[in-house]
Structure 1
Amino acid sequence: MELLVTGGAGFIGSHFIRLLLKREDVSITNVDALTYAGDIRNTEDFSNHPKYRFIQADLTIAEQLDEAFDRVYDWIIHFAAESHVDRSIQDAAVFLDTNIKGTYALLEKVRKGCAKKMIHISTDEVYGSLEQEESPFHEERALSPNNPYAASKAGADLLVRSFYQTYQLPVLITRCSNNYGPYQHPEKFIPKVIYCALNEKRIPLYGDGLNIRDWLFVEDHCRAIECVMEKGKIGEIYNVGGHNERTNKEVILEILRYLGKEETLITYVEDRLGHDRRYAIDETKINTTLQWKAAHSFSEGLRKTIDWYVENEKWFYKGLKRS
């Protein structure tokens, strides 16, 4: 199979490439613009693999994107996105460009026969926020994004759906809960907490710290995408969750306990604008129809994540310089 992976120098994309290169039946082209969140260091361990190539390109610039389409791909796996909520609140323009226009450019490539199928990687944030007593998000829930990042991803999802409905384009959508694991950008919640704890710096905690997220270990997420690629039904949406709901404060406390650090490092700060209270994923559909299930408990995945950052602490500083 010929695969085009967009955003493959990013956190989840690089893990997906690492997983798929273990197969003998796959060749991968990685297209990444290498913005601050795309880090070429994430690809160093497989950069010389004989079935891998890298092309630096912005999806929204046709001349650059065309360089990657010197062949017909069996799949486009579309990870590339601007994904940091705080940055989207400060300036949403680049989120609209990358997340919506970039997705449109790829859909057009599929429509013109340059690729046979496409999986669009989305997020549970498109569903909005849950109350404590509400059931987890299911695939039929109406989209109700509450911040510019989530709105840009919801727009991309609807665009993908429209191309399926209008052109019968062979596309699928996955919506995942919060990912964590090695190689994640240091601006993200878990690596930021680990960095602050290791360096005895104050750990900022929004609001009362009781906002809830469902945490998914990145390797489990990548296995789910591979499963959708192999077994998924065209036109369908699949939620991918870790079944690990935790408050932000609980996550911080677990990290501090593992590192032997004091709770006094936590500093409460003014809550984020449009801060969703709770996310939770109902992954029944992918469990029952595709026989996928997360393999890591939160504690197990978190230990593996912390250990990696401790062993690769220098990775933090280069990542922070690029922010």
Structure 2
Amino acid sequence: MRLLVTGGAGFIGSAVVRRAIADGHQVVNLDALTYAACLDNVKSVSNAPGYAFEQADIRDRAALDRILATHEPDAVMHLAAESHVDRSIDGPGDFIETNITGTYNMLEATRAYWTAQGRPEAFRFHHISTDEVFGSLPPDPEVMFTEDTPYDPRSPYSASKASSDHLVRAWHETYGLPVVLTNCSNNYGPFHFPEKLIPVVILNAIAGKPLPIYGTGANIRDWLYVEDHADALLLVVQKGQVGRSYNIGGENERTNLDLVQTLCSILDRLRPKAQGSYADQITFVADRPGHDARYAIDPTRIREELGWRPSVTVEEGLERTVRWYLDNEDWWRPLQARAGVGQRLGVKA
């Protein structure tokens, strides 16, 4: 397939690009190269014969029309988004413009392209979203997000993603655009931008800085290794049922405190301190406004319909991730100088 991947220089998008090229697909990587993007994420495939890069903003409709007409993709995988909850609290406008208006532009440009191509049945618009659109779950392990869970977003970020999901479904129902949607749990792994929890903990730990945990650390997340997620996304865009959504989860629920303690144990083994444990650096800080208590995904649909399951346990994935950050200082060190990285964000309420 010839795939147009938006946000392909970001964390999840670059994993999709790398996997797609490895699987023999042609890929056009469309990215605006905002603060969280890094072309080093796709350096390993940048010279591949099936790879092309287009620097463009999804809010620029003329650029989207040109790129679609030039490259004639068989499918669009739309990952470009503002995604950091803390930043959405401080500056919600960017999330509205990119995640809602940008998705609208992608839908309209894609619809015009698809129509001009004769509305091919095999074409797909794959919208990649988050489990955060469903809100917050109680601690009962029997209660999980399904594809039929009502939307209940609690942050500017999740509200903007919920809005984009609704737009995608509306363009399918109204205009017949052949769409598939996915909602994933928390991703982690190599190339994770160093403002998110796991890289913050790893990099603060080895720098001797406090390891900040919001509230009591009791918030629960379902952790999905990013390369497993990329495999699932490529499966859905090829074999998913048109108009259908698929929840993609890691089946690895952990409290934030448990997660940080596990990271500390791995670091104690791989790069021991002269004295004590990295867990001694754990510091509890004021909680984030509107902090959801628990996310957990029921992945039954994608397992039964498409045969996908996560292949990496959270223990294995965290060890891989820690080793990657220890071995790739040349990648993460320059990113720490970007605006807002290393600062406590999302405290405005």
Q: Fold-level match, TM-score > 0.5?
A: yes
- Verify: 1:99 aligned to 2:115, yes or no: no
Alignment check: 8 A CA contact 2:171 2:177 kept: yes
Q: Which amino acid aligns with 2:11?
A: F
Question: For the residues of structure 2 that align with 1:22 and 1:98, how far apart are their CA atoms?
Answer: 29
**Residue 152 (structure 2) pairs with residue 144 (structure 1):** yes
Q: Which SS does the other structure have where 1:173 is aligned?
A: strand
Q: TM-score, normalised by structure 1?
A: 0.97
Residue 271 of structure 2 is matched in structure 1 by: none
Query: Is 1:228 aligned to residue 236 of structure 2?
Result: yes
In structure 2, the partner of 1:306 is 322
Quote how far apart the aligned CAs of 1:320 are. 1.2
8 A Cα contact 2:2 2:73, kept in partner: yes
Other-structure match for 1:35: 34
Q: What is residue 131 of structure 1 aligned with on the other side?
A: 138
Where does residue 274 of structure 2 map in the other structure?
none
Inter-CA distance 54–71: structure 2 relative to 1 (3 Å threshold): closer
How big is the shift at 1:66?
A: 3.0
Aligned equivalent of 1:158: 166
How do 1:78-117 residues align onto structure 2 when only pairs under 5 Å count? 78-114=78-114, 116-117=123-124
Whether contact under 8 Å (2:78, 2:125) holds in the other structure is yes
Which residue type is aligned with residue 192 of structure 2?
Q
Matches of 1:319 and 1:63, distance apart in 2:
30
> Alignment partner of 1:246: what SS?
strand
Q: SS of 1:31's equivalent?
A: strand
Q: After superposition, what is the alpha-carbon deviation per residue over 1:210-256, rounded to whole angstroms, capped at 9, x for unaligned?
A: 00000000011011111112210000000000000000000100010
- Counterparts of 1:206 and 1:5 in 2: how far apart (Å)? 33
Structure 2 counterpart of 1:44: 43
* Aligned positions of 1:3-42 closer than 5 A: 3-24=3-24, 26-42=25-41
Distance apart, 1:315 and its partner CA: 2.0
3-state DSSP of counterpart to 1:44: helix
Cα offsets for 1:98-123 (capped at 9, x unmatched)? 11111111111222134832100000
Deviation at 1:164, TM superposition (A): 1.0
Q: In the TM superposition, what is the alpha-carbon distance from 1:196 to its structure 2 partner?
A: 0.7
Residue of structure 2 equivalent to 1:237: 245
* Segment of structure 1 superposing worse, 140-149 or 164-173: 164-173
Distance 2:278 2:58 in 1: 45
Paired AA for residue 103 in structure 1 = T
Per the TM alignment, residue 43 of structure 1 is displaced from its structure 2 partner at its CA by: 1.4
Give the distance between the partners of 2:164 and 2:315, measured in 1 at CA: 33
Unaligned runs of at least 5 residues, structure 1: none
Does structure 1 residue 210 correspond to structure 2 residue 210? Answer: no
Report how far residue 199 of structure 1 moved: 1.0
The alignment status of 1:197 with 2:197, answered yes or no, reads no
Deviations 1:134-188 (A, max 9, x none): 6110000100000000000000000001111111210011000000000010001
- Displacement of 1:41 in angstroms is 1.3
Q: Say whether residues 1:118 and 2:117 are aligned partners.
A: no
Query: SS at 1:73's partner residue?
Result: coil
Aligned to 2:262, what secondary structure does the other structure show?
A: helix
Identical amino acids, percent of aligned pairs = 48
CA contact (8 A) 1:110 1:117 kept: no
Q: CA deviation at 1:63?
A: 2.9
For 1:34 and 1:144, locate their aligned partners in 2 and report how far apart those are by CA, in whole Å: 30
Measure how far apart 1:11 and its partner are. 0.5
Q: Which residue of the partner structure matches residue 64 of structure 1?
A: 63
User: Deviation at 1:65?
Assistant: 2.3
| TM-superposition CA deviations, 1:33-76 (whole Å, max 9, x none) | 00001111111111111110101000101233233121321100
SS in 2 for 1:305: helix
Alignment check: 8 A CA contact 2:135 2:152 kept: yes
Task: Report the TM-score, using the length of structure 2 for normalisation.
Answer: 0.90
Name 2:272's counterpart in structure 1: none
User: 1:2 maps to which residue?
Assistant: 2
SS at match of 1:64: helix
